[in-house]
Amino acid sequence: MSDFWLRPLTTLGFLTFSSLVVWAIFSAVVALILFSFSLLLILFFHLRNLQELDNWLFKASPNNVPHGSGIWEHSFASLYKVVQKHKRTKQELKSAVLRLQNAAKAMPDGIIILGDADKIEWCNFMAETHFGLDNERDHGQHISYLLRQSQFADYLSAHNYNEPLKLVSTRNQGVTLSIQLVPYGDKQKLLISRDITLLEQTETIRRDFVANVSHEMRTPLTVVGGFLETLLDMEHLDKKQTRQHMQLMLDQTHRMQHLVEDLLTLSRLESEQNVLTEDPVNIPALVEKLCDEAASLSGGQHKISLTLDSDCWLRGNEHELRSAFGNLISNAVRYTHEGGNITLRWAQKGDEAIFSVQDTGEGISPQHIPRLTERFYRVDRSRSRETGGTGLGLAIVKHVLSRHQGKLEVTSEVGKGSTFSACFPANRIIKSSALISDEIAG
């Protein structure tokens, strides 16, 4: 028999025995009165403890559980243990929920918990950013009241959530979101949103890149193929005409070769495996060589001058710097009319070292300048092809400068010309005095 029943039965047995003793000594009436009075005391004792239990249940708190006495002491002690266990469990659940909420808040994706009838129960910070929501203000609101785009309404009502929905944000211009609903529990849903703007831009660039490469390669291949067909169809080949055709095919072959070389250069520059090798580069000597090459490329059609305002060197990759500077110079030669001036300058301005190419060409409208370093972007497509440009030169310049922590600055005025400046930070500059010291030390 458990202790719970032992105490009351012992008390009841003692009371019965006492009543029988009183009955034997005095009378049955006295014994009955004593027994009844004792039962009333026991009843009062239990009622008082029940009153304490009722008071505690009305305002339950783990810190004010009644103590009681007798059999109630055991019951209240057990109740106290249950309350403490419940308190610990509640605290653990609260901590677990808090951790989940903190984890959800820290996620880079937007999360909205939708309850019955698709009403908002909770959302994290990224969801607030994506959809302009407020977790407190919009609690209990139907999601379709706040996302009023017809595409989302159709997606929500279709109940086919296997594939995500691509949605252009109406609140954040230029932002594209991927939205997917995940049903769970009892008529609940999880709405997950992800910013895929960069992925969409990358995909657009990829499509444009493939289209542009195909277009650029198709033109010279068409020319070469056309002349070859002409030559094959001619029964008697005219030597002079054949030579002209061969020269045109050679020009188009060179054009394709330059395009492939530029594509390979870009691929190499963008490769993570291509670690930048850094050596002291004699920029004044490099620029002088490029100036001679520019004069040869110009063929005497332009006045080309060189100004060396600094004798400092750069720490970097000579081949890449030569490619970047050469592209800036060749662009100036191609896009400057005959008789125009082209000025090359190597100078220091503040903490920066700057190589600039200034021309007196046609100039560039302001709306085109931010897009000049995009692959195959041309201000005038027809003229670019006439001058032999591949449309990748400034993209190569941008990547080379980025690898050297530099930047490209462009100033231009339509009808007056342009200046392209490659700017390098102080940590790339090697002073001539430092070079002399190294030679002496060596």
Kindly report the CATH number assigned to the domain that includes residue 247: 1.10.287.130
Range of the domain at 24: 3-96
- The answer to whether residue 347 is domain-embedded is yes
Q: What is the reported pLDDT for 284?
A: 94
**Quick one: average pLDDT of 244-265?**
79
Taking 80 as the threshold, does the pLDDT of residue 108 lie above it?
Answer: yes
- The answer to whether residue 247 is domain-embedded is yes
- How far is it, in rounded angstroms, from Cα 22 to Cα 24? 5
Residues 309 and 242 in one domain: no
Q: Which CATH number goes with the domain that contains 397? A: 3.30.565.10
Do 104 and 112 contact (CB within 8 A), yes or no?
no
The model's pLDDT over 159-205, given as tens digits with 9 standing for 90+, comes to 888 889 998 887 778 889 999 999 988 888 999 999 998 888 878 77
- How far is it, in rounded angstroms, from Cα 64 to Cα 48? 16
**Quick one: average pLDDT of 112-137?**
89
* 110 vs 387, more confident: 110
Taking 90 as the threshold, does the pLDDT of residue 85 lie above it?
Answer: no
- The answer to whether residue 440 is domain-embedded is no
- How far is it, in rounded angstroms, from Cα 162 to Cα 59? 49
Residues 189 and 148 in one domain: yes
Residues 145 and 288 in one domain: no
- The answer to whether residue 102 is domain-embedded is no
The model's pLDDT over 51-75, given as tens digits with 9 standing for 90+, comes to 877 777 777 666 677 777 767 777 7
Kindly indicate the confidence band of residue 277, based on its pLDDT and cuts at 50, 70 and 90.
Answer: confident
**Quick one: average pLDDT of 328-352?**
92
Residues 296 and 421 in one domain: yes
Q: What is the reported pLDDT for 440?
A: 43
Residues 284 and 229 in one domain: no
- The answer to whether residue 46 is domain-embedded is yes
- The answer to whether residue 74 is domain-embedded is yes
- The answer to whether residue 439 is domain-embedded is no
- The answer to whether residue 312 is domain-embedded is yes
Which residues sit opposite 183 in a β-bridge? 189
Q: Closest Cα to residue 62, out of 84, 91, 89, 92?
A: 84
Highest mean pLDDT among 23-27, 56-60, 352-356, 411-415: 352-356
Residue in the structure block whose two tokens are 């890449």:
320
Q: What is the reported pLDDT for 405?
A: 93
Residues 303 and 372 in one domain: yes
Q: What is the reported pLDDT for 386?
A: 52
Taking 50 as the threshold, does the pLDDT of residue 399 lie above it?
Answer: yes
Residues 190 and 220 in one domain: no
- Number of structural domains the chain divides into: 4
Residues 92 and 120 in one domain: no
Residues 300 and 410 in one domain: yes
Q: What is the reported pLDDT for 441?
A: 47
Q: Which CATH number goes with the domain that contains 175? A: 3.30.450.20
The model's pLDDT over 346-376, given as tens digits with 9 standing for 90+, comes to 999 988 999 999 999 888 888 888 888 887 7
Taking 60 as the threshold, does the pLDDT of residue 381 lie above it?
Answer: no
| Among candidate residues 39, 73, 96, the one where a domain is terminated | 96
Residues 299 and 425 in one domain: yes
Six token digits for residue 265: 């250069």
Q: What is the mean pLDDT of the chain?
A: 82
| Among candidate residues 96, 124, 139, the one where a domain is terminated | 96
Six token digits for residue 344: 């090359």
The model's pLDDT over 205-214, given as tens digits with 9 standing for 90+, comes to 777 777 777 7
Q: What is the reported pLDDT for 281?
A: 92
| Among candidate residues 195, 215, 243, the one where a domain is terminated | 195
Q: What is the reported pLDDT for 262?
A: 76
- How far is it, in rounded angstroms, from Cα 310 to Cα 353? 9
Residues 299 and 398 in one domain: yes
Q: What is the reported pLDDT for 39?
A: 79
Strand order in the sheet with 417-424: 303-308, 341-349, 352-359, 417-424, 407-413
Residues 83 and 227 in one domain: no
Which residues sit opposite 269 in a β-bridge? none
